[in-house]
Amino acid sequence: MVMVAAVEEHRAVVDERAVADADLVAVVALERRLDLGVLAEMAEQLEQQRPPQVHPGHAARVEPFEQETGPNVVGGQFGVVRDVELAGEHAFLLGAHDDNSPMGVQVGENGVMPAPISVFPVPSLDELPDDLRERIKAVAEKSGFVPNVFVALAHRPEQFRAFFAYHDELMERDSELTKAEREMIVVATSAANDCHYCVIAHGAILRIRAKDPLVADQAAVNYRKADITDRQKAMLDFAVKLAVRPGEVGEDDRARLRDHGFSDEAIWDIGAVTAFFALSNRMANLLELRPNDEFYAMGRDIQPRENIS
């Protein structure tokens, strides 16, 4: 009898307590439970749907995320599955990859193999320096999955450290800009730069920060018609201009922000977030960085509110 691993993915749940001290994308605590089992009846049904040339796979057990990989091991976003033989395009493991492939090769639950998360080499966890591995494990524990940007940028450990150090300084520091406003800048400018990864990933974070399921899509498509304040629209006017026409930014632009109540320190923050994510947008496009599927659904079941802060 054919044995397959079945994945039951529970709805993502916001943990408000995790927001205050969240690390990067862990502004939301995803309550994800991976229930892998040997389900004979389901296996029989699936076997009838498989093309005859596809060999069935089987899974024995799931071990904690920190387990090392090795022969016949598939590492998923939730842990390491021992004694697994992938069933070609029909491996029913979310985020799975084999140990002869880059870590970023993901298998969708519909059995379709999408593009890898990066066109550049993606290291496995056991190849990484201790500090990078510990950070990635910490993010996985808090958010329920590993955002692809972490493993993709780990290809260059020193640049990984510099990138996330600057990111954390900009996005987590005390500022006149709220964290939602900073994410709003990221989404609007990333859309202007055609950055698929940043729009999707930071759109998810914006929905959580703002407690609004609509604002990220509005900011990405046309922030000028979004349900945000005039002050925030002025902020995004400045940020998008700096992102796509930086040579045209001048004193008149800064004066307009001051008229809306922004101090020079806040203007610096608007500019710094815009400039950093201009780098991020270009790196993501260089790598053809693929957003995690989890980001698309995050924060969409929150009740919308009128005022975003």
At residue 74, the 3 state secondary structure works out as strand
Residue 84: count of CB within 10 angstroms of its CB = 24
* Cβ proximity of 59 and 36 under 8 Å: yes
Say if residue 278's pLDDT is above 80. yes
Share of the chain above pLDDT 70, in %: 61
- Asked whether the predicted pLDDT for residue 277 surpasses 50, the reply is yes
Report the mean per-residue pLDDT for the chain: 74
- In the structure, what pLDDT confidence band is assigned to residue 18 with cuts at 50, 70 and 90? very low
Please state, in angstroms and rounded to a whole number, the distance separating the CA atoms of residues 90 and 47. 10
Does residue 266 lie within any of the structural domains?
yes
Q: Which residue range is the domain that position 244 belongs to?
A: 173-297
Q: How many domains, the chain?
A: 1
Dump pLDDT digits (tens) for 122-170.
999 899 999 999 999 999 999 999 999 999 999 999 999 999 999 999 9
Residue 286 falls within a domain, yes or no? yes
Partner residues linked to 85 by β-bridges: 58
pTM comes to 0.66
Helices 230-244 and 264-287, packing angle to 10 deg: 50
CA-CA-CA-CA torsion sign (258, 260, 263, 264): negative
Residue 258 in any domain: the answer is yes
Per-residue pLDDT at 305 = 64
Q: Does residue 139 form part of some domain?
A: no
**Whether the predicted pLDDT of 106 surpasses 80:** no
Task: For 52-102, write each residue's pLDDT tens digit.
Answer: 332 233 232 333 434 334 333 333 333 333 322 322 222 222 333 333 334
- The answer to whether position 221 is within a domain reads yes
**pLDDT reported for residue 109:** 58
pLDDT score recorded for residue 266: 98
- Tokens encoding 50: 């498989």
Please tell me the number of Cα atoms within 13 Å of 33 on its side-chain side: 5
Cβ-in-10-Å burial (0-12, 13-18, 19+) of 229 comes to middle
Residue 272 belongs to some domain of the structure: yes
CATH no. for residue 222?
Answer: 1.20.1290.10
Q: Is 5 helix (H, G, I), strand (E, B) or coil?
A: strand
Q: Is residue 186 part of a domain?
A: yes
DSSP letter (8 states) at residue 80: E
Rounded to 5°, angle at Cα 306 from 304 and 308:
90
Residue-wise pLDDT for 190-205, tens only, equals 999 999 999 999 999 9
In a domain, 269, yes or no: yes
Among 209, 212, 187, 213, smallest CA distance to 200 is for 187
